A and B are shown apart, each in its own frame.
Chain A
Amino acid sequence: DAGITQSPRHKVTETGTPVTLRCHQTENHRYMYWYRQDPGHGLRLIHYSYGVKDTDKGEVSDGYSVSRSKTEDFLLTLESATSSQTSVYFCATEGGGTDTQYFGPGTRLTVL
């Protein structure tokens, strides 16, 4: 995961505040994904991108939006954070025709 970074790595915020998580890759991969990981649920796909300005919803997209203005960056925004969005968020990339995903180190978000 050396080529994928996430920021911030930890964040505590209050209900109702906007939050933006950033994923940055140096792999030049076309596809990028945002997942959340919660006990008992495994990884669930929030949104994904198949190119600059091309994004689509995943399994649990309500309350989240994304943007991808450059190949390297994929932003996840919680417009108005809720306690149910307390989770660990992972970014992943996929490219080179390998069908393999490469994960970032994760962001632990706590919404009080």
Chain B
Amino acid sequence: SQQGEEDPQALSIQEGENATMNCSYKTSINNLQWYRQNSGRGLVHLILIRSNEREKHSGRLRVTLDTSKKSSSLLITASRAADTASYFCATDDRDDKIIFGKGTRLHILP
């Protein structure tokens, strides 16, 4: 089944810097979502971008989608300690089920 694959697997940056993580997928999609998971907790939905959209913003989050390259990026601006978490992209498969990638572990350094 198709699966989004995040890159990098892990990322450490200084507080205040911007964090960028990427997701690549294999087949055409209807939408792509990003989720955050804090340690020991369930996933929390961040943002959904549809296949006919190229960019979407939500607070300090900016998501882009390039369907020609089958890739998406999540940018977190002005990072904070509370942004330390794992971030997952999720794409819908041909049966409309959501498939999650393995995630990017983001660590914000003080």
Contact = CB atoms under 8 A, between A and B. Distances in A.
A102 interface: yes
Contacts of B109: none
Interface residues of A, number: 23
Given A43-B88, A45-B97, A48-B97, A100 B45 contact: yes
Interface residues of B, number: 22
B80 interface: no
A48 B96 CA distance: 12
B42 A105 contact: yes
Interface of B: 1, 30-31, 33, 35, 40-45, 48, 88, 90, 92, 97-103
Interface of A: 1, 4, 35, 40-43, 45, 48, 58-59, 90, 92, 94, 98-106
